[in-house]
C-alpha cells in the first residue's frame, strides 16, 4: 500500500517572500561550529536587529516555535530563546514527577 504524504501548501510559506533576511547571508543567522562568547552574542544581536525590522516577524516566529526549530535566529529568537518558550509551554502532564515513599 502506497502512503501519500501531504504536500506543503505554498500559501503557508508565502510570507518568506517578504522576509527582511531573504537577501542576507545565512551565516548571519546560523552560528558556525564552536562560536561562543562575545562573537556569538554580537552575531545574534545583529540578526535580531534585522528581525526587528521584518514585516513577517510574527509568522516566522510562530513557525519556528511550531516546528521547534533547533538552529539559528528565527523571528527574532535565538535557539535558547525558543527552548525557553517551548519548555514553558509544556503542560504539567508532560513533566514527570517523582514521589517519595
5 domain-assigned: no
Domain membership flag for residue 36: yes
| Residue 31, domain member (yes or no) | yes
Other C-beta atoms lying within 10 Å of the C-beta of residue 47: 22
Q: What pLDDT sits at residue 25?
A: 96
Q: Report helix, strand or coil for 77.
A: strand
CA distance 15 to 86: 23
The whole-chain average pLDDT of the chain stands at: 85
In-domain check, residue 6: no
What are the residue ranges of helices labelled H in 1-101?
Answer: 37-52, 57-66, 79-89
The residues, ordered by sequence, that sit 6+ positions from 50 with a Cβ below 8 Å of its Cβ are 20, 21, 24, 28
Q: For the chain, what is the domain count?
A: 1
Asked if pLDDT for residue 99 goes beyond 60, the answer is: no
Quote the CA–CA distance of 36 and 45 in Å, as a whole number: 13
Domain that holds residue 60: 25-87
Q: Can you give the pTM of this predicted structure?
A: 0.76
Specify the pLDDT at position 101: 45
Amino acid at each position: 500500500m502506497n502512503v501519500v504524504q501531504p504536500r506543503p501548501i505554498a500559501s503557508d510559506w508565502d510570507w518568506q517572500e517578504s522576509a527582511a533576511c531573504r537577501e542576507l547571508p545565512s551565516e548571519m543567522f546560523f552560528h558556525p561550529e564552536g562560536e561562543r562568547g562575545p562573537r556569538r552574542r554580537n552575531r545574534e544581536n545583529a540578526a535580531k536587529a534585522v528581525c526587528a525590522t521584518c514585516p513577517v516577524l510574527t509568522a516566522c516566529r510562530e513557525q519556528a516555535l511550531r516546528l521547534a526549530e533547533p538552529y539559528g535566529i528565527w523571528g527574532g529568537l535565538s535557539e535558547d530563546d525558543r527552548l525557553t518558550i517551548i519548555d514553558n509551554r509544556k503542560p504539567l502532564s508532560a513533566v514527570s514527577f517523582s514521589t517519595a515513599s
